[in-house]
Amino acid sequence: MLKLLQQAFLRLSPRYQLKNPVMFVTYIASVLTTLIAIYEYTHPPKGPVHFSIHIALWLWFTVLFANFSESVAEKRGKAQAENLRKSRRDILAKLLVNQNSKEYLLRSSTELHAGDIVLIEAGDIVPGDGQVLKGVASIDESAITGESAPVIREAGGDRDAVTAGTIVLSDWLIVRVTSNPGETFLDRMIAMVEGAKRKKTPNEIALSILLAGMTLVFLIVAMTLLPFSIFSAMNLHQGEFISLTVLIALLICLIPTTIGGLLSAIGIAGMDRLIQSNVIAQSGRAVEAAGDVTVLLLDKTGTITLGNRQAAAFYPAKGVSITALAEAAELSSISDNTPEGKSIVALAREKYQIGPTDIVALAATFIPFTAQTRMSGIQLENRQILKGATDAISKHVAKQNVVIDDTIVSKIEEIAKLGSTPLLVCDNDKIMGVIQLKDIIKTGIKERLAELRSMGIKSIMMTGDNPLTAATIATEAGVDDFIAEADPEEKLRLIRSYQESGQLVAMMGDGTNDAPALAQTDVAVAMNSGTQAAKEAANMIDLDSDPTKLIEIVKIGKQLLMTRGALTTFSIANDVAKYFAILPAAFSTLVPGLGILNIMKLTTPHSAILSAVIFNALIIILLIPLALKGVSYHAMNANKLLRNNLFKFGLGGVIAPFIGIKIIDLIISRLMIL
């Protein structure tokens, strides 16, 4: 708390206050009132001696409270940045001289540059962001993601990116460094978390301009009141002219100091809520855009489904027993280390009690899967057992003039209609049957997509599957639309067509093929486990690599926009009560008829003005928790949501000052400080 107060005082410099026009005017007003108080202390006026001193103190409190709100908002980010900074250390990296022989020289990680090739072995800390060229290893990324479970990183595919500061637990990797010193993901993450590079978003800038305009209008009004009151007092003999202290108090109470003092804190807190969800935003613009998203593009694999197809059933051919098919399927998959292959082995063993087979005793040769053959299996002494795509196996057995019977053909079509993938199994030239691989829909995804729909967001599933499979998965998951057989060009065309119609598009991706689409979308979230290309194209990075995180990001974006709008409404509505407090008090001698506006029955003109100034300062500190936590968001129609917030914060903003100012006036009159 002492550090936060210290920061609040350190920010009382004109250069810092100039960043916020509303608070800069309040700052100048505090300085002027302080000078007036000093003068009146040496030249006592006719009225209350300490009035200007009290006004000056509470104006300084107003500025301090605004600084304090920003310091509190930054505190959590700085604490998290400190933890991340501990993960960043200067280590010795093994800079390869020759990749083939693994000869290396020891170099400080601060001397590595993009393009350098390094060897990272078990127990080593990854010296810089990079792309795996060779090897496969288990890596502890808990320092970055907070997740204790290790992850696998390997060359090729979409999991070939490593992050500086993580630790290799087993095996080895040869990595090409992709970042220069001070530009690693960890360095950028620390800067973002600290808010050191936080720039105002377009909405925030627009609101700042509006608040500055309102401040200028009230400043001009206040400036014209002084000569008007002097003219009335001297030439028309209508009471005493308004003092400069009263005019300053009137100005500060009428300009939107509440939202002006909390505006920066709201933006910082919004970014912080995103960070607490383990998402790093490259800019606040992306967070705000998330709140306005109308179209959400989702990959099928890993987002809507679990990511790996699982063996669901075996369907034997005519004249083949289910046990014989299960045995052949198990043998064909025994060397297949893919999740699909492992699930086939598991299904055969658990449901049909096949095996486990003694691989050494078989003395077999394993046939690996290739993109050309699209088959894999095992070669025994006089048996070749294969499994693979239906057309690939059909062509293989067709060489022996074997024709697949109609029962198997109809079963293949039936499996495809269900949205599953059929695999044929053959023993030499004999078709044994079909394996059904099924995409497993994630638990709760249908409910989450329904929640998006209630927010007015259209969900579109993108997949490379055929239209029949895509339609089945889309129906089961509950997406609004789908694009089948989608390639990178098709994704780009889809995104651009929606953007041209004025809609904001969000997308999450992890592969190099997703990079063009991520670069085009308004809200692009890359998985931390994804490729370097995807991370560079995105404007957000999800450290948890959770494909459904995009839904949470949308909620945070909407909450940020709602919080800013709600507190702006509350701040402007506050002025109504202040009119009834200050105007009758300020013009009590010039225009006695304005006394009818003193509906709060405030004790004296000076207590009324001081009560309004005190409330104006205290309301900032009271609203800090709301600015940090954010207005609660519930999925509902946008118009209904707007009406609810206008009613709650608009009406609340009108009523709260009447109650607060009256209570403060009663306390002041009891204490008799004037």
Using CA atoms, how far apart are residues 101 and 412, in angstroms rounded to an integer? 49
Max Cα–Cα distance, the chain, nearest Å: 121
Provide the residue type at 242 as one letter. I
Catalytic residue at 299? yes
Answer yes or no: is 411 a known binding residue: no
DSSP-assigned states of every residue in 383-409: -EEEEEEHHHHHHHHHTTT----HHHH
CA dist list (Å): 207 to 213, 387, 623: 10, 63, 18
Sign of CA dihedral 472, 475, 476, 477: positive
Place of tokens 């509505």: 573
398 is in an annotated binding site: no
Identify the H or E element spanning 215: helix 202-235
The answer on whether 166 is annotated among ligand-binding residues is no
Task: Report which secondary-structure segment, H or E, holds 125.
Answer: none
**330: annotated binding-site residue?**
no
Q: Is 422 strand, coil or helix?
A: strand
* Residues 295, 458 contacting (CB under 8 angstroms): yes
481 is in an annotated binding site: no
Contacts of 351 (CB under 8 A, 6+ apart): 326
Gap between the Cα atoms of 152 and 188, Å rounded: 24
Structure tokens at 449: 């997509």
**Rounded to whole angstroms, how far apart are CA atoms 439 and 297?**
19
Torsion sign (Cα): 85, 91, 97, 99 = negative
Tokens found for residue 107: 């170099």
Between the alpha carbon of residue 199 and those of residues 191, 204, 282, the distances in Å are 12, 10, 10
Q: Is 170 labelled a binding residue? A: no
Class of residue 154 by CB neighbours under 10 A (exposed 0-12, middle 13-18, buried 19+): middle
Residue 98 bridge partners (DSSP): 103
Residue 142 assigned ligand-binding role: no
**Residue 327: CB partners within 8 Å, gap ≥ 6?**
348, 352, 354, 355
Q: Residues near 586 by Cβ (< 8 Å), separated by ≥ 6? A: 242, 246, 247, 250, 605, 609
Tell me the chain's radius of gyration from C-alpha atoms: 34
Residue type, 509: G
| Structure-token match 């006719």, residue found | 46
User: Which of the 8 DSSP states describes residue 646?
Assistant: I
Q: In what order do the strands lie in the sheet with 279-281?
A: 279-281, 540-542, 523-527, 505-509, 295-299, 458-462, 481-483
Q: 510 among the known binding-site residues?
A: yes
Q: Is 327 annotated as a binding residue?
A: no
Active-site residue among 124, 187, 299, 465? 299
**131 in a known ligand binding site:** no
- Here the tokens at position 485 are 């057989």
161 is known to lie in a ligand binding site: no
Cβ-contact 608, 578 below 8 angstroms: no
Q: Which amino acid is at 75?
A: K
Residue 354: how many CA atoms within 13 Å on its side-chain side?
21
Residue 158 assigned as binding residue: no
Tokens of 386: 């294969």
- Which pair of structure tokens corresponds to residue 154? 């390997």
Sort 622 into a burial class: Cβ within 10 Å, 0-12 / 13-18 / 19+: middle
Q: Is 340 annotated as a binding residue?
A: yes
Q: Which among 648, 480, 449 is positioned nearest to 554, based on CA atoms?
A: 449
DSSP state of 364: -
Q: Are 106 and 93 in contact (CB under 8 A)?
A: yes
Which residues are catalytically annotated? 299
Q: Binding site for Mg(2+): what residues are annotated? A: 510, 514
Q: Binding site for ATP: what residues are annotated? A: 336, 340, 369-376, 387
Q: Binding site: what residues are annotated? A: 336, 340, 369-376, 387, 510, 514
